[in-house]
Amino acid sequence: MWEWSEDYTPEELMVVCGAREIKDGDVLIVGSGMPLIAASLAKRTHAPGCTMLLESGVVDAQPRRSPQNVADCCLTPGAASVHSFFEMMATHLQSGHIDIGFLAGSQVDKYGNINSTCIGDYYRPELRLPGSGGASPIGCLARRVLIMMRQAKHRFVSRVDYITTPGYLDGPGARERAGLPPNTGPVAVISTMGLFRFDSETKEMYLESHHPHTTVAEVIENTDWELKVSPAVKPTPLPSEEEIRLIRQELDPQGMLRRVLR
């Protein structure tokens, strides 16, 4: 059995939490940075049969350095297939072949709706954000969505300023009523402070575990609504020494993950 590692950064623990959500055989669509490292970690440990897709059109990328972005040329040599947005988004995602989509954003709310479009009014934004990219269709059409975000009160809000990517909208049944496929939606939110899931009845986000370097009270303090907490709440299991070694030595040797998130 592996030894547990006390020496980890919050971002490394997020990556490990992301990897733990992946089952062997899953087909994943990931972005660069944490999701790519999480998927690579799962593939190197408990899920060797998972397949990683990048929205830039790459299947089973074998990068030999930390990619700068999903369109980094280092993702091409060695891949199983390289094509286009159309192939990835339409022929693999829209047709229902993606198990897991990893997403991030600037705001998330208690129903797992994500905003990556604007802060403030859409027409006169205080802060204009990049926009959907592939996030919205991934959030609409992947069977399970994992959200990775830094925890802060202005990021975990009761209602996002703009729904770029629909989560459970305003509660149970809302996705289906809006026209989205059944049995899709966010299953977990992984933040710098904790791991959250969605209540099967109310579809509201609740705290399942707090990372060992934080407390439940701290997570609540950094959430802008009355956060529900699992009665069985516990500290998030630590990463293993092997997981940390793989991340630092093999999956992200340039420390891109540590730099990007600072």
Instruction: State the Cα–Cα distance between residues 80 and 61, nearest whole angstrom.
Output: 7
Instruction: Return d(Cα 160, Cα 156) in angstroms, integer.
Output: 9
Report if residue 162 touches other proteins, rule: CB under 8 A: yes
Reported as type and span, the H/E element at residue 137 is: helix 135-141
Question: Which CB atom, from 18 or from 134, has the smaller least distance to other proteins?
Answer: 134
Compute the distance between CA of residue 142 and CA of residue 60 in angstroms, rounded to an integer. Answer: 18
* Nearest-angstrom CA–CA distance, 16 and 247: 9
Instruction: Say whether residue 46 binds other proteins (CB under 8 A).
Output: no
Interface pick for other proteins out of 49, 127, 231, 249 (rule CB under 8 A): 127
Q: What 3-state class would DSSP assign to 185?
A: coil
55 is a catalytic site residue: yes
Alpha-carbon torsion (21, 26, 27, 32), positive or negative: positive
Residue type, 83: H
- Cα atoms in the Cβ-side hemisphere of radius 13 Å centred on 212: 13
For other proteins, give the closer residue by CB, 70 or 216: 70
Q: Which is nearer to other proteins, 20 or 144 (CB)?
A: 144
Check residue 134 and report its DSSP letter: T
For 151, other C-beta atoms within 10 Å of its C-beta total: 22
71 binds other proteins (CB under 8 A): yes
Residue 75 vs 251, nearer CB to other proteins: 75
Beta carbon of residue 144, minimum distance to other proteins (angstroms, whole number)? 17
Instruction: Choose between 150 and 213: whose C-beta lies nearer to other proteins.
Output: 150
Minimum Å distance from CB 256 to other proteins? Answer: 8
107 close to 161: Cβ distance less than 8 angstroms: yes
- In the set 11, 12, 21, 55, the catalytic residue is 55
Q: Does 122 bind other proteins (CB under 8 A)?
A: yes
Q: How many residues of this chain interact with other proteins, rule: CB under 8 A?
A: 58
Answer yes or no whether residue 154 interacts with other proteins by CB under 8 A: no
The H-or-E segment that residue 258 falls in is: helix 256-260
> If binding is defined by CB under 8 A, does position 133 make contact with other proteins?
yes
Residue 218 CB, shortest distance to other proteins, in Å, is: 27
Residues annotated as catalytic are 55
Q: Where on the chain is the footprint of other proteins (CB under 8 A)? A: 31-33, 55-58, 68-73, 75-77, 82-86, 89-90, 93-94, 117, 122-123, 125-137, 140-141, 162-166, 169, 174-175, 178-181, 256, 259-260
